[in-house]
Chain A
Amino acid sequence: MSSYGYVLDDTVLVELGRRDLDLHRLIIVFDRSHVRTSVPAVTLAVAEAELSPDQRRVIRGMLDVLEHIHLEVISTQAETERLTEVVARMDQPVDMAAAHAVAVSQYLDWPILTLDLRRWETVKAYLPWPVELVEIADPGKS
C-alpha cells in the first residue's frame, strides 16, 4: 500500500453524498490505484449535517466498501491535541470542518483535496503554516 494520499474536505464529502458520479469515479480510480484517502471525522460530521439520511448512507457505505479510504477519528489525547493546535489558531467562530482536515493533513503530511479553493481562503489567512490544497478540476475540462 502506498504511504501517500489525499485528505478529503467537506466540499468533496458533501458532493460524494449527493451522488456526484464524476467525483465517485475519481475516488474509485484512486482506490484501484492504491492511493489512500482520509476522511477526518469532524469534517465528515459537518458535511453530513448538510445531507439527507439516504445521502449519508452513500458516504458510510463508501467508507465500508472501498479498501484505501479511512475515517480518521479523535480517540486519543494525541489526536485531540493535534486538533487543538489548529483550533487555537483559527478565527471565531471556528471552522471545525476545516480544522480537522488541516490537523489530519499536517499529521499525515498529505494534501487536502477540495472542490473549491475559495472555501479555504479565510482558513489559510489565519493559520501560521502553509495548507497544501489540491483542487479537483471539472473532468469535462481536463
Chain B
Amino acid sequence: MTVEMTSIKVPKNLRDRLNALADERGRGTTLAQVLEGLLEDHETNMYRNRMAYMEVAARAQEDAEGMARAERQAEPMINYLRRREASQ
C-alpha cells in the first residue's frame, strides 16, 4: 500500500530536537517515526488518565443513594450561584 506523504514546516530548533531523538532511537529512524512515537506516547498517557478517572467516576455513580445525596447537596450550592448571578 502506498502511503501519501506531505511536508510540514517546523522551527529549526524543533527539527534539531526531533533529529536528536531520532539519533537516540538508532540508525534508520526517520523523523516521521519519531513523531509517530511521540503521538502514541501522548495518546497512551491521555488514555491512562481518562481510564483512571472513569474508574473513579463509575464507582461514584454506581451508588444511587450516594448520587441522590450529592444532588441534594449540590442543589443549594447551584441555587446560590443563580441568586448571585441574578442580583448582579
Contact = CB atoms under 8 A, between A and B. Distances in A.
Chief secondary structure at chain A's binding surface: helix
Contact of B74 (A24, A30, A54, A140): A30
A136 B74 CA distance: 9
B85 A4 contact: yes
A29 B50 contact: no
Contact of A21 (B56, B71, B80, B82): B56
B39 interface: no
B38 interface: no
A22 B66 contact: yes
Interface residues of B, number: 30
A19 to B, nearest CB: 5
B81 A6 contact: yes
Contacts of B4: none
B78 to A, nearest CB: 6
A29 B70 contact: yes
A3 B88 CA distance: 12
B80 A65 contact: no
Chief secondary structure at chain B's binding surface: helix
Place the interface of chain A in its size category.
Answer: 20 to 34
A61 interface: yes
Given A4-B85, A35-B78, A65 B70 contact: no
Given A61-B54, A65-B57, A26 B70 contact: yes
Interface string B51-88: 11110110111010011011111100110111011001
B49 to A, nearest CB: 4
A103 to B, nearest CB: 19
Given A33-B78, A35-B78, A136-B73, 7 more contacts: A22-B66, A24-B56, A61-B52, A62-B53, A109-B88, A139-B69, A142-B72
Interface of B: 46, 48-54, 56-57, 59-61, 63, 66-67, 69-74, 77-78, 80-82, 84-85, 88
